[in-house]
A and B are shown apart, each in its own frame.
Chain A
Amino acid sequence: EAQVTQNPRYLITVTGKKLTVTCSQNMNHEYMSWYRQDPGLGLRQIYYSMNVEVTDKGDVPEGYKVSRKEKRNFPLILESPSPNQTSLYFCASSSRRGSRYLDKNIQYFGAGTRLSVL
């Protein structure tokens, strides 16, 4: 089954304790992205990756890091979490190849990771 898998689904941590949220996709997609969802703000892009070893900042990258060492994985790293990073996080992937009328450009989302930083 084609899917984007995030772990953990729920996480409570304390300020300053480094954490990693993992994201893995099994669709051989080139493009992967991280979003955070906050009430009234919709989803905002944190970082994205066009392919292995190619990453770039989105709209709200401060306080986050990412890496793309393998095509299927795109972990989100919070080196020193703060309470303002309490949010719902989504990983997404999409294909940048093929016809625009098929699967291309459609982003597939993981189930989300709800993070609370105390």
Chain B
Amino acid sequence: ETGVTQTPRHLVMGMTNKKSLKCEQHLGHNAMYWYKQSAKKPLELMFVYNFKEQTENNSVPSRFSPECPNSSHLFLHLHTLQPEDSALYLCASSHNPGLAGVEQYFGPGTRLTVT
């Protein structure tokens, strides 16, 4: 247990579906992150939220829509995805990022399959 939970753990969706991934952290952190891990590619950052404000969008297609209603919860809304979006989606959290760097803690991930 890292203090970061994600639901669902597995998701299969069609290209016309709309679904949402949920992340919750119980560590008192201020920053939350979405990462994507595709087969045979390094883990890559998608979004960063700091104090509920989006501070980084790593050129992610608009079919991925993040939402951060408070510092403990982070969502990733999915719509009209493509099969190549099938991947493991990981959420992370940390204390307030700054110049000195902070340690990130990861949830167990949601394994998404787009059919």
Please indicate whether A and B come from the same complex rather than being unrelated chains. no
Interface residues in chain B, defined as those with a beta carbon under 8 Å from any beta carbon in chain A: none
Interface residues in chain A, defined as those with a beta carbon under 8 Å from any beta carbon in chain B: none
